[in-house]
Structure 1
Amino acid sequence: MDIKAILLDFDRTTLQRDQVFISVRNMYAIRKALDKGIYIVPSTGRAENMQPPQIEAEKRIRYYITSGGARVVDHSTGEIIHEEILTPEDSARMCRVFEGRNIYTEIAAGGRIYLEKAVADHLERYPVPSHHVWFIEAGRQIVIDEPSRYFSENGIGIEKVNMYGIPAGLQQQIYDEVEHSGVAHITDPVGENMQFFPQGLDRTRGIRKLLDKLGISMEQVMSIGDSVLDAEAVRASGIGVVVGNAPQWLKDEADFVTAPFDEDGVAIAIEKFILNEG
């Protein structure tokens, strides 16, 4: 099969357990694929400016499918290839779900991460994910006083929202507020950590838009993932690969099950199907 592009999920697929860095073997395989002219395309829930440092440093990786497909960009030029985001008005409404409730919340918009100032001023009190510390320490976040007003007044639409450490007494209420909004959907069960995306978001629409631009068909794609968010791409690709830590139902739908994410599963798949070393 003539594979021309590889779609890579990151967390619990390509990254190590620290969820920041890519193993030497995985990165070597990625670079060898690039040497062969294969497009390496991050396909992830992460915002554009929260991609792993090794990916950002590899300038041959220019196309990013970010925020679960809400934003597809050419990172080298800034061109927006595809967007499925909330309107500024709906963004403001959804910000009121968490605003003023002292919840550590990362708001993705325009490829950047925004934090509410009242929270950002006292991050030591909040459960900042360990794999996001490098991002915060680098000062990449944008701090804003009142998110709802900011997005409305500046005409900015939100791609996704991640909330961490939601108090038990607010979890069901926040879940219901998002699910009943008519414009957003939570992808997690009720709990202390929840994320939501624009309702009806379909990652494969963004994937197909990018592939059309590149003149590539889904049959010429290898997708590698681990979760329900990767399932449609795994099913639709010419070669659908899941790592060994994926749930059994997803393994059953894959063309190939590789090793777990922390055992260089991505490298093994690339070696087998692209480098012909398997």
Structure 2
Amino acid sequence: MKNRFKLLALDMDGTLLTSEQTISPDTSRWIQKAKDQGVHVCLSTGRSFGSAWPYGDELGLTTPLITVNGSEVWRAPHDLYQRSLMDPALISDMHDIAVKEDCWYWAYSVDRVYNKDSWIGGIMDMEWLKFGFHTEDDDARHRILMKLQDMGGLEITNSSPHNLEVNPQGINKAAGIRTVCGLLGLEMSEVIAVGDSMNDLAAIEAAGLGVAMGNAQQVVRESADFVTASNDEDGIAEVIRKFIF
């Protein structure tokens, strides 16, 4: 039987990577088998290219990849196709919110990641991609969310239950995967998207097959077509065995 799925879009943290931040031998082996079958394997992550690529290199990937929750789409490793920048004024406003709430925060510029311990002046002169907040205080996180929603023009997700990740409106992993499909001549119906957090939700809902990891947040599991094993139990290997072979 000809396989209907041609693209496997994989989130990294909590999905491809174990809790130890490694790719297990079994998952790696099944990814290679999928590649041998002609399936494109695409990393789709909130990480920057520099933080994501060592794992892509480990897997021998030559396909497009999606970084910073879709703010960057790479035609191939080191070959940038598209980049969506965030208005520095929004970064400045979010920084003010983070300081007022006294929470951990970080922001991705084109060149590097800044955080609470390494923040700099000159926000308006830099090229920004994403801003993030982290707090285990549910009330504080809710207040931050309300302020962000009032600002408008933002795509608000998370990569863990305790954080909020903010990209320009309309920039998410689903949009990134659509762009990759355009580059590869594929349809969204030919995509398997796998993830565990709110920043994977749009992709899981838009793909031909949306898969949540066993360790995924509840709303992500409820929205998926299939729930696989956890990231520490080779959930991706299970997906490849079940839907590609």
TM-score by length of 2: 0.80
Give the equivalent residue in structure 2 for 1:7.
9
Q: Distance in 1 between matches of 2:109 and 2:14?
A: 24
Structure 1 counterpart of 2:81, one-letter code = I
Residues 59-94 of structure 1, C-alpha deviations (whole Å, 9 max, x = no match) = 42442212222221235243233x443123433443
Give the equivalent residue in structure 1 for 2:65.
64
Q: Distance in 2 between matches of 1:244 and 1:168?
A: 24
Give the equivalent residue in structure 1 for 2:152.
182
Give the equivalent residue in structure 2 for 1:208.
178
Aligned residue for 1:30, secondary structure, equals helix
Give the equivalent residue in structure 2 for 1:264.
234
Q: Distance in 1 between matches of 2:162 and 2:200?
A: 23
Q: 8 Å contact 1:48–1:112 — kept in the other structure?
A: no
The 3 A distance-change label for structure 1 pair 98 and 255 is closer
Q: 8 Å contact 1:178–1:185 — kept in the other structure?
A: no
Give the equivalent residue in structure 2 for 1:153.
125
Structure 1 counterpart of 2:70, one-letter code = G
Q: 8 Å contact 1:85–1:198 — kept in the other structure?
A: yes
Give the equivalent residue in structure 1 for 2:27.
26
Structure 2 counterpart of 1:153, one-letter code = D
Shift of 1:102: 6.8
Structure 2 gaps, min length 5: none
**Paired-residue identity, %:** 29
Structure 1 gaps, min length 5: 121-143
Structure 2 counterpart of 1:268, one-letter code = E
Aligned residue for 1:114, secondary structure, equals strand
Q: 8 Å contact 1:179–1:185 — kept in the other structure?
A: no
The 3 A distance-change label for structure 1 pair 72 and 60 is same
For residues 75-94 of structure 1, the aligned pairs below 5 Å read: 75-81=76-82, 83-94=83-94
Structure 2 counterpart of 1:265, one-letter code = G
Q: Distance in 1 between matches of 2:112 and 2:216?
A: 29
TM-score by length of 1: 0.72
Give the equivalent residue in structure 2 for 1:127.
none
Is residue 236 from structure 1 mapped to residue 193 from structure 2 by the alignment? no
Number of aligned residue pairs = 241
Q: 8 Å contact 2:65–2:77 — kept in the other structure?
A: no
Provide the alpha-carbon RMSD of the alignment. Answer: 3.1
Q: 8 Å contact 2:8–2:42 — kept in the other structure?
A: yes
Shift of 1:192: 6.5
Q: Distance in 1 between matches of 2:202 and 2:93?
A: 30
For residues 211-222 of structure 1, the aligned pairs below 5 Å read: 211-222=181-192
Which segment is superposed worse, 105-114 or 21-30? 105-114
Q: Distance in 2 between matches of 1:260 and 1:161?
A: 28
Structure 2 counterpart of 1:2, one-letter code = R
Q: Distance in 1 between matches of 2:27 and 2:36?
A: 14
Q: Distance in 1 between matches of 2:205 and 2:146?
A: 31
Aligned residue for 1:230, secondary structure, equals helix
Q: Distance in 1 between matches of 2:42 and 2:107?
A: 23
Q: Distance in 1 between matches of 2:202 and 2:144?
A: 28
Is residue 164 from structure 1 mapped to residue 166 from structure 2 by the alignment? no
Structure 2 counterpart of 1:4, one-letter code = K
Is residue 109 from structure 1 mapped to residue 81 from structure 2 by the alignment? no
The 3 A distance-change label for structure 1 pair 225 and 84 is same
Structure 2 counterpart of 1:107, one-letter code = A
